[in-house]
Structure 1
Amino acid sequence: MAPVENSARATLLMESPGDRADLPAILSKFAERRVDYIVLAGGDGTVRDVLTCGAGIFGESWPPLIVLPNGKTNALAVDLGLPLNWSLTEALDAIHSGQIEQRRPLAVSLRDNANARVQGFVLGAGAYTAAIQLGQKAHKKGAFNSLGVGITVAGSLLQALFGSGGNVWRRGTPMRLFDGDGREVEHSGIGRLDERFLLFTSTLRRFPAGLRPFLNGNASTMRTAMLDSSSRSLLLRLPMMIRGKISEGMRRAGYQVVESDSIQLDISDRFILDGEAFPGGRYQLSLGPKLRFVVP
C-alpha cells in the first residue's frame, strides 16, 4: 500500500489486488486507516467482489464509495448516472462539487449457512444465464456496455422465438420463490408450476442500452421480474417489458414484477450475480447495507 499525494493534497492509498483473495487484507488496511472514501476501478464484478469481501469488515458502515466504470458491464454506473470515461481526477473533484446517491445491494446467502453470502446488484436465472453466456461472446468481439447489452437482448430474443421446444433458450428452469412471510410467489399456471423461464432481480432502476424494466420503486427496494414460460406471445412483448410497461394481458400470459425486502429462492440450476455464476441451492435474497456513492 503506497501513499501518493495528488494535486488536491489528498493522500491516496493505491492498491492493485492480484485476485479476489487479496481483497480482505486490503480492505482491512483501509478500515484501520479510517479512509474517507474507497475508489473502485472496474465493472459490476469488481463492485460485487469488494462488497462481498468487505461485508465482515465494514458491516453497515461503509465509507462513501467512488466507482470508476472500467469494466465490461457497468450497470451500477449507468444507474448512478456516471460517465463511462469518468477519471479519478474528476471523481475527486466531485467529492466537493458533486452529490451523494444511496443504493442498497442484494445480499444473497445460503439458507442453511448465512455466512456463505455474496453481495451484488443484478441477479438472474433461467434464460438469463444463457443470455449472459451470449453476452460474454459479444465481449470477446469488443462489444461492451450498452452495445454488448443490446446485442445480448436482441440475440436472446431471436434464439427464444425461433428455437425448438427442447432448445436451451426455450426450456424452463426448476425454481420456486417465496416472499418474506414464506408464501410462495404466485405462478400464472402457464407451463410447469415448479419452473420459471426467466428470473431477474435488482435494486437498480436504470440499466445499459436504455433498459428500464422497473419504472416504479426507489433505490431501497428489491424488485423481481419473472417470466413463467417461453410462449412466443409473451416473448413478443419483451420490448414492453424492458421499458417497464406491464399490461393485464401480460400478467395473464405469465409475466409479473414483485417488490419485497426479502425473497427465498430454491433453484436447481446455477444463477448469475453481476456476471458470475453460482451453484443452485436454497437461497435467501435480502437487502444489503445502505451504501453512499459519489456522483457528478
Structure 2
Amino acid sequence: MKQDGILFLGGCVMDNCKSSMKNLQPALIHNPNSRKNIQDDGRFIRMARRKMGDFCVSTLNDSYLAGHLAELKKKGVNFIAIDGGDGTVSACLTAIANAYRGMPLPAVAVLPSGNTNLIAGDVGFGLRGELALDRIMNPASLRSSIRAPIKLSWIGKNCPPVLGMFGGCTGYARAVRIAHSPHVLRFAPHDLAVFFTIFSSLASLLFRRSRKSWMRGNELSWLSENDNGMKEEKRGRSFLYMATALEKLSYGIWPFWNAGSGRSGFHFLDVNACPKRLPSAFFYLLRGRVPGWLWSHEDYQSMVVKKMILETDSDFVLDGEVFPASGNEKIMLEEGPSFRFLHV
C-alpha cells in the first residue's frame, strides 16, 4: 500500500528531510516517440540538454536503456526523471531495478507525455517544461510517495520479468486491443483511452454477435497470497481481470476494494464469466464506490495481495504492452521493489 512523505534508503525508513533531498544527483530519460514529445518538435529535449548536459538521455528504443542506466549509475545518479507515458515508465522501472540491483534504488519522477498516463495521475511530478526541469535540478522541496510496482514473470519460460503499475487479462486484454486502434488513440488521447478500455467491456454486451463471447470470457484460475500468508484460490472463467499497484486512477474511477486482510501488496479485481448484475456493478465501480451487495457478491472478487499465480489462455497487458498468450500458461504477479516517486 502507499506510503507518502517517507524515504526508504538502504532498507531503512527515514523522515523526508530537506538535507537528504539536496544530495540527489538528477538525470532525465526522454522518450522522443511519446505523444507530447512528438508534438513539441524537440523543444523540451533541447532545453533539457542545455540545462542537464550529459545527464540528459533521449532513447528511441527500450533496448538501449540498460546501457544508458549503467552509465548514469557510474555518474552517481540517484534521481531519474522519466519523460514518457505508462509504457515508458514501466520499461524504465524494469531497467532501473536491473541496473541498480543490490543497491538503493534511485528516486523517480514521472513527466507525463504518452498516450496513457495513469501512473502520472497517481504519482506524477505535477509540472512539465522548464518549470519541471528547474525543480528536478533543485529537488530540496519536493515531496515523495512510495509505490511498489507489480512484478510480472512467466513460470516455466525463459523470459525476463517486467515491472509495471496497471495491467490485466481476459476482458481487459480484449478491450485494450480495441483502445490501441488508431481511431481510438486519435480521438481519445492520454488516459481517456483507458477510460474507453473499461467502457468497451460493457459496450460489447449491447451487440448480439459479441455478447456471448465477451460474457463467457477466458479461462482463468488463480492462487493468491497476502502479507499474512493467507491463501485463496479460484478455478473457472473470467469476464474481466485487472490489477494495479497504484492508489488512484483518473476521473475518480476505482474498481477495487480490499475484501481480505492484506495491508500491503497490489490490488486486483476479478469478475467471473457471465456475472450477475453487471451493469449495476460497473456503475458503482466506475464511480469508485462499493455497496454492500457488491462487496459480498460471489461473481466479484477484489483483494490486496502480495503474490498471485494465474493460469489463463488470455493475453496479459501491463502498462499498455500486450504480452500474447501461448496456450494456457502460468504467470506470476508479485509485489516488486519499492520506488520513491518525487513530485511537487
Amino acid at match of 2:83: A
Partner of 1:20: 62
Per the alignment, residue 121 of structure 1 pairs with 165
Whether the 8 Å CA contact 1:203–1:220 is kept in 2: the answer is: no
- 1:179 positional shift: 1.6
Q: Give the whole-Å Cα distance in 2 for the aligned partners of 1:112 and 1:154.
A: 34
Indicate if the aligned counterparts of 1:266 and 1:283 stay in contact, CA closer than 8 A.
Answer: yes
Distance 1:119 1:88 in 2: 29
Q: Greater shift after overlay, 249-258 or 266-275?
A: 249-258
Mean alpha-carbon deviation: is it higher for 212-221 or for 64-73? 212-221
> Using a 3 Å threshold, how does the CA distance of structure 1 residues 58 and 271 change in structure 2: closer, same or farther?
same
With over 3 angstroms needed to count, the CA separation of the structure-2 counterparts of 1:258 and 1:79, relative to structure 1, is same
The correspondence for 2:215, drawn from 167, 170, 179, is 170
Q: Paired residue for 2:323?
A: 278
- C-alpha RMSD of the superposition: 2.9
* 3-state SS of paired residue (1:109): strand
Q: Distance in 1 between matches of 2:263 and 2:148?
A: 7
Please report how far the alpha carbon of residue 130 of structure 1 lies from its aligned counterpart in structure 2 after TM superposition. Answer: 1.6
Matches for 1:22-101 after TM superposition, within 5 Å: 22-59=64-101, 61-80=104-123, 82-83=125-126, 86-87=128-129, 89-93=131-135, 95-101=139-145
The Cα offsets for residues 204-229 of structure 1, whole Å up to 9 and x where unpaired, read as: 12112321223669995311101012
Cα pair distance change 1:183/1:100, threshold 3 Å: closer
* Corresponding position of 1:266: 311
Q: Which amino acid aligns with 2:176?
A: I
Structure 1 pair 245–161 and aligned structure 2 pair: CA distance change class (3 A): farther
TM-score (norm 1): 0.85
Q: Tell me by how many angstroms 1:143 deviates.
A: 1.4
Pick closer, same or farther for the CA change 1:104–1:114 going to 2, 3 Å.
Answer: farther
Range with bigger deviation, 151-160 or 127-136: 151-160
Cα deviation, residue 231, structure 1 = 3.4
Distance 1:158 1:232 in 2: 16
- 3-state DSSP of counterpart to 1:93: helix
Cα–Cα, structure 1 residues 283 and 169, in superposed 2: closer, same or farther, change >3 Å? same
Q: Which runs of 5+ in 1 are unaligned?
A: 187-192
Q: How far is the alpha carbon of 1:278 from its aligned partner?
A: 1.1
1:156 and 2:201 matched: yes
Bigger relative contact order, structure 1 or 2 (CA pairs below 8 A, ≥6 apart)? 1
Shift of 1:183: 4.5
Q: Deviations over 1:189-243 (max 9, x none)?
A: xxxx421111111111211232122366999531110101233622332021233
Once the 2 structures are TM-superposed, how far is the Cα of residue 139 of structure 1 from its aligned partner? Answer: 4.1
TM-score normalized with structure 2 length:
0.74
**Letter of the aligned partner of 1:293 in structure 2?**
F
Q: Secondary structure at the match of 2:146?
A: strand
Equivalent pair of 2:149/2:164 in contact (CA under 8 Å):
yes
Structure 2 Cα separation of the partners of residues 237 and 161 of structure 1 = 16
| Aligned residue type for 2:154 | L
1:103 maps to which of 136, 147, 151: 147
Give the equivalent residue in structure 1 for 2:8.
Answer: none
User: In the alignment, is the contact (CA less than 8 A) between 2:239 and 2:273 conserved in 1?
Assistant: yes
Report what 2:279 is aligned to: 235
Q: Return 5+ residue gaps in structure 2 as ranges.
A: 1-28, 30-45
User: Structure 1 counterpart of 2:218, which letter?
Assistant: T
> Secondary structure at the residue paired with 2:60?
coil
Q: Which residue does the alignment assign to 1:130?
A: 174
Given that residues 104 and 220 in structure 1 are in contact (C-alpha distance below 8 angstroms), is that contact kept between their aligned partners in structure 2?
Answer: no
User: Alignment partner for residue 253 of structure 2, among 203, 211, 217?
Assistant: 211
**Count of aligned residue pairs for this structure pair:** 286
